[in-house]
Structure 1
């Protein structure tokens, strides 16, 4: 049984955990306040879930989801994630995170910065343009007309393939944007981010319409 580590137990982390448990994964989940604060969530998730520290969740997961506010990405433990696929759900909101010149000037991407922080991990973008509640309610069987699609991006083929498989298990089609350098196409304020539920064809079209704006700090 594959163990999914989840660092961040907010809205997205909790819903990914629920979907993962429903699809036969084990879950080890952490937040910034300590494992004891996750007792209710773990009780809801059942015997295949447990709470841990971020370091322990990173170590326990065969694959690890990082779903913390972007401003906290550099606190994600590095060594326990070495050699692992890491799914990054982060978005950059300068109002919350403070201005980051690399992003404001279009020189980097949110997931690219996490990849730099985790040089021995294989980072893939995932779950960043879907509202939390939709993760467990919008999924449909493969081949269903109008099935919703989600984007991923990675510099590593196996990481993108894992996200593609996970999306499919959760009930979503996948559009692979390409390397992390192209993941800005699905970041905040881009058509693919703001359009809500999209089919594969709609998502492809919205990704193609992306324009990289540069925002002065």
Structure 2
């Protein structure tokens, strides 16, 4: 039976996970805050397995709901509609971007996914597919057994939900390691060894800006499940907590700003 991924958010991350899902044979229902009519071009590009809907329609249709939204908007999520659903939390805490900042996150009282779980009481939140850039997320996927297949971490409190998310991630092209509970998910948050940089390719010196951008878009070296677990095991809690633009490759930031600006113009 074909499964359905419901996606809340249609930015760079939402588009990337949608492409992964349809390539793996999943039905996809895309949604955003602007309404289904704003998604017609994206749905057409994704093909017959994709359709647009309201947030509520995406949730209702989904076997797994992907949160491809800024963490700052988590309180807009309809908690009552998501009760009982497996929720793939792709959000990250970046307190330096915008005005979203919380003491409970800064102090380490909660992980960002525990905060999402608190709001989505009754949902089964699993942290995952959050620790690499949108481009590498889409184009680093490889079939099972491929020498370039790499590994992504997950964390969650519900065993069955983690199994469902693991099957999804494996189906779309990645191996998986289980980090533990949502309380343990700080080990895979921004500024940790498994976050972002392991998936980035080496960029040769002396390239022009355009050449460097093209080189950056290639996949990085694959990470085996054993190597991924070793990175996680040696993790110490970052201080301060949360990601920064300075903690990302400058080329990534330039590409992000370039594409985000283009997307804003298109809207």
Q: Which TM-score band (shorter chain)?
A: over 0.9
Match of 2:36 in 1: 35
Match of 2:198, SS state, is: coil
SS for the counterpart of 1:12 is helix
Match of 1:131 among 112, 125, 133: 133
Q: Paired residue for 1:212, among 237, 240, 249?
A: 237
Runs of 4+ off more than 4 Å: none
* 1:95 to partner: Cα distance: 1.2
2:93 corresponds in structure 1 to: 92
> Which position in structure 2 is the counterpart of 1:7?
8
Query: What residue is the counterpart of 2:193 in the other structure?
Result: 191
Deviations 1:62-96 (A, max 9, x none): 21111110000111111221111000000000012
Aligned residues: 217
Q: CA RMSD in A?
A: 1.7
Report the TM-score, using the length of structure 2 for normalisation.
0.77
Give the whole-Å Cα distance in 2 for the aligned partners of 1:214 and 1:77: 32
In structure 1, runs of 5+ residues without a counterpart are none
Cα distance in 1 for partners of 2:153, 2:165 equals: 9
The SS at the match of 1:83 is coil
Structure 1 range deviating more: 207-216 or 178-187: 207-216
Partner of 1:80 in structure 2? 81
C-alpha distance in 2 between matches for 1:36 and 1:87: 24
Are the equivalent residues in 2 in contact too, given 1:86–1:124 (CA < 8 A)?
yes
CA separation in 2, counterparts of 1:31 and 1:176?
A: 29
SS of the residue 1:136 aligns to: helix
Q: Which position in structure 2 is the counterpart of 1:47?
A: 48
Preserved CA contact (<8 Å) 1:63 1:86:
yes
Change (3 A) 1:2 1:195: same
Mean CA deviation greater in 168-177 or 95-104:
95-104
> Partner of 1:161 in structure 2?
163
Q: 1:181 aligns with which of 174, 180, 183?
A: 183
Q: Which stretch of structure 1 is more off in the superposition, 198-207 or 180-189?
A: 198-207
Q: 1:118 — aligned with what?
A: 120
Alpha-carbon separation, structure 2, partners of 1:63 and 1:80: 13
How many angstroms apart in 2 are the aligned matches of 1:86 and 1:64?
5
Q: Paired residue for 2:225, among 200, 207, 216?
A: 200
CA deviation vs aligned residue, 1:166-195 (integer Å, no higher than 9, x gap): 111111110100000000101011111143
The SS at the match of 2:30 is strand
Of 75, 85, 109, the residue aligned with 1:107 is 109
Instruction: Between 139-148 and 14-23, report the one with greater CA deviation.
Output: 139-148
User: 1: distance between equivalents of 2:70 and 2:192?
Assistant: 19
> Which range moved further: 189-198 or 10-19?
189-198
- Indicate the structure (1 or 2) with the bigger Cα radius of gyration: 2
